[in-house]
Amino acid sequence: MKIVSVVGARPEFIQAAPVSFALRREHHEVLVHTGQHYDDTMSRVFFEDLDLPAPDYHLGVGSGPHGRQTGEMMARLEEVLWKERPDLVIVRGDTNSTLAGALTAAKLHIPLVHIEAGERSFNKFMPEEINRLVADRLADLHFCITRRAVQHLAREGITEGVFFVGDVMLDAVRLYLPRALERAPALLERLGVEPGGYLLATVHRAGNTDDPRRLAGILAGFRAIPEPIVFPVHPRTRQAIARYGLQVTPHIQMIEPVGYLDMLTLEAHARMILTDSGGVQREAYFLGIPCLTLREETELMETVEVGWNRLVGTDPQRIMEGWRFFRPAGPRPPLFGDGHAAERIAALLRQSPPRFGQHYQRRETLSLPVRENAELIPLS
Ligand code: UD1
Ligand code: UDP
């Protein structure tokens, strides 16, 4: 089969790697980079660290408001899909690149596969929630990272073409952690921190960076914590900190975003992780590092329920309490599969390659709350 894989943002490069290796054993993969992330530290470093094949197409879209960014991705992707005429398109996660890939494939009647389907925060203020809802509605095959994601889809009437395969980000940790750990002594020495003697923080969610009070709350929490904090800063967050004139103290090391191997090393040796990232919450769980999530809700409620993740929002007091008292020690059940998700995905695509619209049908059996004699809304 000819498969077009669409990537554009940092977590998508990481998720793409294990899948790409598994697919390329038996299929022809065409990798399309939308250009959503473009700084070397947000893009190039991941292709190097992960040995990811160079993109066959780079759409060069760059940053912009959601409508323009997504629209330009669609216009350029449409040309690629017309030319390549793939048997299917793979999108992953919940970024604007995911949305553009899903919409463009569906409009051209190309079967669509969504990896990391069924994640829900139930917060439509998040752009990611909108992107996921659309991608899941349009996908012909859904690969879920947890059982709960399968349930979310079922509640929305999506029950066919849905598979719990586990998390390809766990595959990536399994594949790259040994190589990453070799970097630990030099990296930790360069940063002047000891294994287990620092916190690792990341912040990039629009809901946190675009709201000065929330970002100020997070940084006030960090300032109050008397322990070294290593903080690789997303460009969006660096801009917001400068824009709002926020301050940090010297025990908070604001560094450039790091590559995947350095990030795994920093995560594995941190005493605790503070983050609003989906991927970093998951990696904290895989590695058994306590995680404070700087949000009011998470797609990964299972990790909270088993006691390894705590929602602390952006209030400095709650962040401090989490830092002081959160000491998970219980078991970590294999919520995210066994680190062989990509092989399952490749096998499922071999056994039952998707057809466009295959699972899309009238759902007579669903009992939807239809109002029989609904009245027209009165004209004012
Ligand atoms: C995007 C995704 C988010 C994902 C995150 C991963 C959407 C709506 N959001 O958020 O789901 O968690 O990627 O990191 O797709 N910028 C640079 N250089 C870059 C990239 C971005 O300076 O290489 C700056 C630009 O000012 C840009 C801003 O960061 O406007 C935001 O970038 P964007 O890709 O729109 O969203 P992210 O916050 O990165
Ligand atoms: N990551 C990285 N360097 C960084 C920050 C994050 O390599 O400086 C990795 C992290 O280990 C995880 C992924 O990027 O694998 C998560 O991406 P991000 O937090 O940008 O997005 P999200 O997962 O929230 O969509």
Q: What is the pLDDT of residue 377?
A: 74
- Decide: 113 and 86 in contact? Cβ < 8 Å: no
Q: Which two tokens stand for residue 7?
A: 């990537």
The pLDDT tens digits for 227-240 are 999 999 999 999 99
| pLDDT at residue 372, as a whole number | 54
pLDDT score for 375: 74
CA–centroid distance, 366 to ligand 2, in Å, is 38
Q: pLDDT at position 362, please?
A: 65
Q: Hunting for tokens 């604007």 — which residue is that?
A: 96
* Residue 204 designated active-site: yes
- Measure the CA–CA gap between 378 and 4, rounded to whole angstroms: 48
DSSP sequence for 177-243: HHHHHTTHHHHHHHHT--TTSSEEEE---HHHHS-HHHHHHHHHHHHH--S-EEEEPPHHHHHHHHH
36 lines ligand 1 (CB under 6 A): yes
Q: Tell me what pLDDT residue 373 has.
A: 60
Closest ligand to residue 206's CA: 1
Catalytic residue, chosen from 204, 269, 340, 359, is 204
User: Tell me, what's the pLDDT at 365?
Assistant: 56
- Residue 199 confidence (pLDDT): 98
* Range(s) within the chain of domains with CATH label 3.40.50.2000: 2-167+338-367, 177-325
Written as tens digits, the pLDDT of the chain (380 aa) is 999 999 999 999 999 999 999 999 999 999 999 999 999 999 999 999 999 999 999 999 999 999 999 999 999 999 999 999 999 999 999 999 999 999 999 999 999 999 999 999 999 999 999 999 999 999 999 999 999 999 999 999 999 999 999 999 999 999 999 999 999 999 999 999 999 999 999 999 999 999 999 999 999 999 999 999 999 999 999 999 999 999 999 999 999 999 999 999 999 999 999 999 999 999 999 999 999 999 999 999 999 999 999 999 999 999 999 999 999 999 999 999 999 999 999 999 999 899 999 888 766 555 555 455 667 877 76
Label residue 51 left, alpha or beta by phi (over 0 means left) and psi (-120 to 50 means alpha).
left
The predicted model scores a pTM of 0.96
37 close to ligand 1 (CB < 6 Angstrom)? yes
pLDDT, residue 376, reads 80
> What one-character DSSP code corresponds to residue 145?
S
Q: What is the pLDDT of residue 74?
A: 98
Q: Please state which of the four CATH numbers 2.50.20.10, 3.20.20.450, 3.40.50.9100, 3.40.50.2000 is assigned to the domain occupying 177-325.
A: 3.40.50.2000
Closest Cα to atom 18 of ligand 1: 39
Q: Which atom of ligand 2 is nearest to the CA of 233?
A: 8
The whole-number pLDDT of residue 7 equals 98
Which CATH number fits the domain 2-167+338-367, given the four candidates 3.40.50.2000, 3.40.50.80, 1.10.540.10, 1.20.210.10? 3.40.50.2000
Return left, alpha or beta for 30; rule: phi > 0 is left, psi -120 to 50 is alpha, else beta: beta
